[in-house]
Every structure is written in C-alpha cells, then in structure tokens.
Amino acid sequence: MLRAVVACLALVIALPTSAQEMTLPRVTLAKVDWQAAAAAVPGAPNTPPAQAFAPLNEAAGALFSDIAKSPVPVLLPFDAEGLAKAKADAAPGQALGSADAFLQGGFQVTHFFLPGAGGYDTAFALKTPDVRELADIRYREPVYVMLSGLSALYDLDGPPLPQGQPVKDLDAAFPGILRYLHESYVRYVFERYGVTYVASIYCRDVRPRPRILGCRQADRILVRFLQSLKLAGGSPRAEPHTLAPALSARPEKVSTDFSYFSPGFLIPGTGMKKADTGRADYTVYANLRFPMQAPPAFANSQSFNNWGNCDFTGRSPRRLGRKGMSYSCKVNGLPLTFDESAGANYSYPWRDNFCEHRFFYVGQCPGGVGHQGQDIRPGFCKQFNLGADRCLPYQHTVVAARDGAVLRMRQQEALYLFVNAPDAHLRLRYIHMNPKRLDADGIVSGRALREGEPVGEVGTFDRFERGTTYHLHVDMQVPTKAGWVFVNPYMTLVAAYARLIGARGTEIKPGDPVPPLASVPPVIEHVEPPRIPPNVSGTPLPPKPPPQVQESAAESVKPHHVIHRKHRYARRKRASHPVD
C-alpha cells in the first residue's frame, strides 16, 4: 500500500538549568483509493466516488449523522445500500420503519460515531443470548466491539509492536488480515482501499466466566462482526489528506514553583523487577488542555507515596491502623507516612509513574507490563476533621482536555474521550470518578464535549467508593499498525500544565539537586475549638479529642487484613476499557 510519510522534527527548547527536548510524534498518512471504493458500491460501476457514496451517506445518516464527514470509506455492520434501495422503492408516504432493521449480525448502535482528520471511530454492542450461534457464551453483559478506519498511523519509538498472525479462514474476504492479542484486546487489522481498519474487543486470556469475557469468545464475536461489514458512507476530499501534529507556543515565563522529574524516572525500586526505569518518552502527542479545572495539581505515584499500598509488593510494618504511622514499601525502604494528606503528596516536583509496578499489559513499558498512565492529585486534600487519614472526594472539577466525543456505557467507571482533529488522533481515558454522578450528568457514549467543559469531579472510586486514593488517572492511546496502543502521557501533561499556569516548569534530571518541598497543607472541614470544662477543684480538664467522622474513623482503624482484602479485591479488576 502506498503511503506518504510525514516526519515531525524534534523541538529543542533552552531552559535555565538544562536543555529540555520535547518531540512531536511521527505519523504515516494513507493514500485513500476512492475509485476502488466507488467501484465496490453495488449498482454504481464507473460512477464518480462522490456520486456513488451520496445515497449511502443519506441512508446511513439516519443512525450515523456525521458519516458524510469521514475522509475514508466507512465500513459498518449496516446495510446502507439496502436501506437506500428500500427508500427508492417505497411508495409516496409509505413508512419504512426503523433504520435499526438494517443493522447486520445482531449488532446494535451505541450512539458513538466520530469522524475526523484521522479517519473514523465507532463502537457496537452485541448481546450474545440474542444470537443463536453465540448463545453458549454466557457473558452477562453486552459485548462491545470497537472499530476504526484509520487515515493516519503513529510510528512509535521504543519497544517494537507485536507481530500479527495471519488468519487463513478470513484471508479470502480480507486479504492480508492479521490477528493480534495485545494489551488485553483481541484485534483484527486489515487494509482496504488504502485504509487500515481495526476491530477489537477487550478480553481476558483466561477461562471465561459470567463476568469475564475470554479472548477465544471475543475472537468468535469479532469474526461475526467482520463478516457483517458493508460499505456505508464517507466522502472523498478534493485536497490532499493531512494530519500534522503541532506544538503550541510554550510560555516564556519560567515558574518559580513548578518542577518535574524527567520522564521515565520512577521512584527508585518501583518499576517492574524493582527497576527505576519507566519509559523516557519526551513526545508531546497533542496540545491538550490540562484535565484539572484549576491549578495547582501534582502528578505522582499513588501506590508508592504516603498512604499508598505499595502495589502489594510488601509494607513494613504490615499492620497500619493509625494516622501518621511510619512505614515503608519493602521494594525500596523509603520512609512513608500513613496519611493521605502528607506534604510530599501535595508538592512539586512532579513524578512520572507510567510503567510503575502494575500487572497491566503495556507494550511501551520495558517489561511489557506496568501502570498504563499518569496519576494526578488535585490542588489540596480536604479532610473531615483533624483525625481523618483520608481525603474527601468531589472537591475538584475535571474538564475535557480537547474537543471530542465520549465513549462510556452507563455504570462504567472508566471514560474515554476520543479526539479526532487535524493535529491529533488519540483517545484519553479518565478513571476514578463516580459512575453514578457521570450517569446523572449524561456523560455517556455519543456525548460531544468542548475543550475545558466540566466532565465530573475527582473521586476515590475503584469498583466501590473510597477504593483508592483521591486522584485522577489519565492515560493515552494512539492508533498504530497494530491498532490502538498505550503511550506515555507525561510530557504531554507537562506541556499542558505549563500552558494552564502560564509558565514553563524546570526539569530535574537524575543526579540534579532537588529543590526543597513547598507542601500544600490539608483543608479541614470540621475543626471544633477545644472544650475545657472545669472540674470540682476548678482546674481545667485536658482538651477533648476532636470528633471522628464515622466513615473516616472506621477506615483509619480498620485492621490491616481487612484493608488488604479490600484492596486485593480492587486489584482483581481490569479497567482497561470503558465498556468491558
């Protein structure tokens, strides 16, 4: 397949302390063969592409309103040609019924369809009990299939992408099709009309259960999905197709406060196999609006900082039940405090924790597993009273980082924001906001968001309320020849934060002196003045201890084995997809 390659040069920017390099991503553009696509439209031989696709766009527009904006031919499990013919054959005034009747293979729309410079993205749902051939798949929830038609692919540095496996049974219908099992998705990738198409399902490569979709089950559903695809729309462009990453002008002013450690420089001993190295990626993948509404914000580890659970690598002492207790993670022995509001949690410098010790699959991490994104604490920790060791949720607003569309099913904790713009094609995932609040606010699939628009509030939700620390998890994926893959968002967030505060930060490289911490003190909601009633002799009694809120007190004095079991349950989740 012929392609035009766009190379984006690195930007070298001088800072007072050292040279900091921010690099733009490289993309490869598709050369779309609209003539071949038009020839494949039934009943339209030798018809100009725009004319051939006009009836399809009109018919499919009943369910996919922006389909004509797609810069690549759109494949969907939808018979747009059949609907167009039915409309043409209908008598005047005759009702045709719902366009849903022309969906193929039992798949249903999710109201998420986003075209843009990078192609198009969409998702479909399938309830396996409704399909006779799949009725033996006893997965309780609907299965969601994600589909992208890509006019640009990102060329990544670092570890090579996996090699796909040829699929002989499908090669006749989809020449050159490859199957991948990567980052907990089974995916099929094929090329048609000069465009790369990717269909994928989140799955677990384990024995299936009612709440766990096995990858072999997902594979069967994907084959059915591929066999249901038909040409449904799209519009050729008169001008050459482009997707050109760019970096907005960075502030000239240098912040006296904001500093950050180099990308890939983890807390010592907190990488996989006790390594200190993450992914030293200086790429700014897009110009984003920082996802917190207002500064300050602090990017750092949740598991290996104060009150963290060390990601179950061991703590000493094991039992922690009192606010302020000293402990350490066994991986490095660094001193920590059992207090979520501790100063080091709410202070500069920032710290990258992409690829930190986790057992999620991440192809860009040195060991192939790790933390899939970046954790961000908001500006301060608000506690119910002086004795609380936890932060109260819902004190800070989360906003959309770019114009885009939401992919999120109701009751789901994770939220995807898809961005498909002339300078970037990516998807961001926000985690730990309360799903009931998101449902109430209508933050569900198909919702369009504008940059800076409130999305929700920072929470502590992780399968259940107060299942994690008070923070926002943000990760980023870009489309490649192997489909969508995780990349390090750290430098993208550094650049976004500098624009938010109007001043660039200072990079601290390994071996550089670390500036003294300037911590943000916690906010206490209820502080009662000490009550000193006189005794019989007139001597004041000692002050009465401040009252404990029931929830916070129960959490802070809970035996370690109960806390451990609670977090062990949270660990079993695989929140790698908003609709898994």
Show me where the domains of the chain are located: 32-87+99-233, 254-390+463-522+559-571
Question: pTM for the full model?
Answer: 0.88
Q: How many angstroms separate the Cα of 210 from the Cα of each of 129, 140, 372, 463, 575?
A: 12, 5, 26, 17, 17
Q: How many CB atoms lie within 10 A of CB 421?
A: 16
**pLDDT of residue 300 exceeding 80:** yes
Give the integer Cα–Cα distance in Å for 350 and 471.
14
Give the residue among 268, 330, 238, 329 at the shortest CA–CA distance from 510. Answer: 268
**pLDDT of residue 12 exceeding 60:** no
Element (DSSP H or E) covering residue 181: strand 178-182
Element (DSSP H or E) covering residue 182: strand 178-182
**pLDDT of residue 63 exceeding 50:** yes
Cα three-residue angle 398-387-314, rounded to 5 degrees: 75
Give the integer Cα–Cα distance in Å for 201 and 220.
11
Q: What is the DSSP string of 189-228?
A: EEEETTEEEEEEEE-BSS--BTTB-BHHHHHHHHHHHHHT
**Residue 573's pLDDT band (boundaries 50, 70, 90)?**
very low
Residue 147 near residue 122 (C-beta atoms within 8 A):
yes
Rounded average pLDDT over 528-532: 65
**Residue 567's pLDDT band (boundaries 50, 70, 90)?**
very low
Rounded average pLDDT over 82-90: 88
SS3 content of the chain, % helix, strand, coil (to 5): 20, 30, 50
Place of tokens 């505060």: 501
Write out pLDDT tens, residues 443-452: 999 999 999 9
**Residue 544's pLDDT band (boundaries 50, 70, 90)?**
low
pLDDT of residue 546: 52
pLDDT of residue 554: 34
Q: How many angstroms separate the Cα of 369 from the Cα of each of 165, 182, 266, 351, 358?
A: 21, 11, 15, 19, 7
